[in-house]
Chain A
């Protein structure tokens, strides 16, 4: 852990959890509710955590994602963990090379360049909904 790192962070979240090793913020801030978490089935990179280093929560995340991807929100709900804690656990697993996290879609407040791309996406969503 890096004890100095917390002080300069925005006070958005907070009280550290035991399960997160005392940190209240994930090591990466790209995790979203619908970020897809998948277990890496390829040989893990040299920096990978050894299975013995996993916390119980990390083991549970790996276990429920072993057969396929789930979103951060789905993992949180299935493991009965707050989303904020789940993000920290997943983030550590990504750092450890055991899972991958697929980046969430671009933010809503679209730069003009996204307009066309967004329109195509909306069109697909519209078609899909009408066929429900």
Chain B
């Protein structure tokens, strides 16, 4: 299991049905290392307690033999997600999974059709978020970096963080508290503003196909 420590989603399974008629669904992803607060952010925003799916690793052909040799046959990777109803006919889905796992089909599922991503980072281990950024860049999926400020953690100023992440100057970098709904919402607002900005630049469209 890859669920986040102290943050495991409930088993409450009541999920309201979607409204009838035409609805527009939008997908965003939250990525970052284990325990950085992805599920917390999803919980802060979701209409219902975050849901989890477990995907058996044994389905990933190339992993099977190695895992069997390791004596592991039941390894799963978990994906948490939630639903945010913005309007009766406009619904956002937020998917989260640890970035260090190598289960490509899960990443493909999560990122396919996604409009953008929030990369969550922890100031005590910024480098653990680099892999997520690399993977998103390889996919061409735009993102913002949100440093989740846990109580008692060191705080850095924006310049230090910008330097540490080596971010493209256009990529927004913000701090947030994933436990707070308004703060988590602001991370998504910044992402959408970034997407709009990017959409306006002609070169962003050249990357298509």
List the interface of chain A (C-beta within 8 A of B).
11-15, 24, 32-34, 36, 65, 67-71, 73-74, 76-78, 80-84, 104-112, 115, 118-119, 121-132
Contact = CB atoms under 8 A, between A and B. Distances in A.
A36 B59 contact: no
B55 interface: yes
Interface in B4-29: 13, 15-20, 23-27
Contacts of B208: 109-112
B209 to A, nearest CB: 7
Given A121-B26, A132-B181, A34 B195 contact: no
B109 A68 contact: no
Contacts of A115: 199, 205
A24 to B, nearest CB: 8
B110 to A, nearest CB: 7
Interface stretch (B82-90, B125-133, B149-157): B82-90
28 contacts: A12-B108, A33-B27, A33-B110, A34-B93, A36-B23, A36-B25, A68-B16, A70-B15, A70-B17, A70-B18, A71-B93, A74-B83, A77-B15, A77-B51, A83-B55, A105-B25, A108-B140, A108-B141, A109-B207, A109-B208, A118-B195, A118-B199, A122-B115, A125-B92, A126-B192, A128-B90, A129-B188, A129-B192
Nearest to B92: A125
How big is chain B's contact interface, by range? 35 or more
Nearest to B76: A82
A125 B192 contact: yes
B51 A33 contact: no
A104 B13 contact: no
Contacts of B24: 105, 121, 124
Question: Which of B60, B108, B109 has most chain A Cβ within 10 Å?
Answer: B109
A83 B17 contact: no
Interface of B: 13, 15-20, 23-27, 45, 51-56, 58-61, 64, 79, 81, 83-84, 86-87, 90, 92-93, 95, 104-106, 108-116, 140-141, 181, 185, 188-189, 192-193, 195-196, 199-200, 205, 207-209
Contact of A32 (B56, B112, B200, B209): B112
Given A34-B27, A73-B53, A84 B113 contact: no
B13 A78 contact: yes
Contacts of B116: 108
A80 B84 CA distance: 22
Given A84-B59, A112-B208, A126-B192, A107 B87 contact: no
A98 to B, nearest CB: 17
Nearest to B86: A128
Nearest to B111: A108
B111 to A, nearest CB: 8
B53 A82 contact: yes
Contacts of B55: 82-84
Nearest to B109: A33
Contacts of A77: 13, 15, 51-53, 81
Given A81-B53, A82-B55, A84-B55, 10 more contacts: A32-B112, A36-B18, A68-B20, A73-B95, A83-B109, A107-B113, A109-B208, A122-B199, A126-B193, A128-B87
